[in-house]
Structure 1
């Protein structure tokens, strides 16, 4: 069990989850400290090309983070696998996927806990769930070989709320994140390269999302490091009530 203290400078987001997305810069989080753990990510075995690396853990927040008098607690849940239906993910839908857990050293970092705290404020506005999934993802690109952060194309995740937090971009071009109100829209409602420290949060049933491929801008390998957070997590049906 981890104690999640309310940051003194925290301001509850004034956002209507039914109306728009939120883009903010989390200056209180040291992205350099978080970035170190991305070098230890295992390869994603469900994609060909050896360009994506990934870990996944699930957490529950107990207590009311909005209350000054009541301390909230962050609890790491037992290991769970990842599942999306074919309707949501045409590429890897109906496949039960298993990823290694986030490293304990990362989970103990204040910046990581701050990120989960921040995301949960939006979950409280838009979801009845107090559980979140945290995907730690590195996409790589080599000279002449692009990496695809979203090989499934323009999609939804099948959750209530999605957050994308940019940790690092190194030696790459591309990787622009788009939000679409309709899957067949010719122009996105939002389009931006997320720079380190920027956090994009949106309601999953309001926006489809996509991130364009990344390419190396030099002969050295390039990398894009992000956390993708979902509320709730995405579990196989038999694990959803665990």
Structure 2
């Protein structure tokens, strides 16, 4: 597989056409619990996680039983090698019009990034991650505390939900030698990077509280296609 494969866009503009449903969707980031599994002892990450299956033919979604979230040490040098357990994503989020439209739009686009001749799976297994990275005067937030990495899946949607009172949070895509290929800031709600995880790596710079603010945050939504 040659070269880093990715696309950029804004889901609110390109897919949702500034639908009023976005506000209902983004409210699900207001009650995320603190991530209890941070190898660096950080208290800056809030998150929920679930696994679903998505039937491409009829658009049905089903929850998949999962006994925790596991990544290898090779994939995640900080938090890999242990089973991590998080609160599941709210079913009400999975029922939103925004979430269903995102699936209907991104799943067919996997074929655009896949190698020629690769068959399209009739049912996709998808990891869903909600993150809030908090920055305070005492502690910067680290969106990728493991550093330059890949997630160990096929494709990833990395989508900004909100930024408030923070600086930083600059995304960099790297080739498989860790050389930077693209630096890009997700700045507007709905901005996304759609990446073939097998073709490269990614990282994000720390977020710091903006001057004059006491606390800020960066909210992200991730769809990982396995």
- Say if 1:34 and 1:167, in contact at 8 Å, map to a contact too: no
- The answer for the alignment partner of 2:197 in structure 1 is 204
- Say if 1:57 and 1:80, in contact at 8 Å, map to a contact too: no
* 1:97 and 2:91 aligned: no
Supply the distance in 2 between the matched residues of 1:75 and 1:124 (Cα, whole angstroms): 22
Structure 2 matches for 1:166-185, cutoff 5 A? Answer: 166-185=160-179
Deviations 1:77-116 (A, max 9, x none): 2344211111111111111111111112212211122222
* 1:193 and 2:193 aligned: no
State the secondary structure of the residue aligned to 2:68.
Answer: coil
Q: 1:137 to 1:209 in 2, by over 3 A?
A: same
Number of aligned residue pairs: 209
* 1:35 and 2:22 aligned: no
- The answer for the alignment partner of 2:158 in structure 1 is 164
Q: CA RMSD in A?
A: 2.1
Segment drifting more, 122-131 vs 170-179: 122-131
Q: Which of 206, 211, 222 is matched with 2:216 structurally?
A: 222
- The answer for the alignment partner of 1:12 in structure 2 is none
Supply the distance in 2 between the matched residues of 1:72 and 1:147 (Cα, whole angstroms): 36
Supply the distance in 1 between the matched residues of 2:44 and 2:196 (Cα, whole angstroms): 28
Which 4+ residue blocks in structure 1 deviate beyond 6 angstroms?
none
State the secondary structure of the residue aligned to 2:199.
Answer: coil
Structure 1 segments unaligned to the other structure (5+ residues): 1-16, 65-70, 233-242
Q: Which of 130, 133, 150 is matched with 2:144 structurally?
A: 150
Supply the distance in 1 between the matched residues of 2:23 and 2:194 (Cα, whole angstroms): 21
What TM-score does the superposition give when structure 2 sets the normalisation length? 0.85
- The answer for the alignment partner of 1:78 in structure 2 is 65
Structure 2 segments unaligned to the other structure (5+ residues): 115-119
- Say if 2:165 and 2:213, in contact at 8 Å, map to a contact too: no
Structure 2 matches for 1:18-29, cutoff 5 A? Answer: 20-26=5-11, 27=13, 28=16
State the secondary structure of the residue aligned to 1:134.
Answer: strand
Q: Which has the higher strand share?
A: 2
What TM-score does the superposition give when structure 1 sets the normalisation length? 0.79
- Say if 1:172 and 1:223, in contact at 8 Å, map to a contact too: yes
State the secondary structure of the residue aligned to 2:60.
Answer: strand
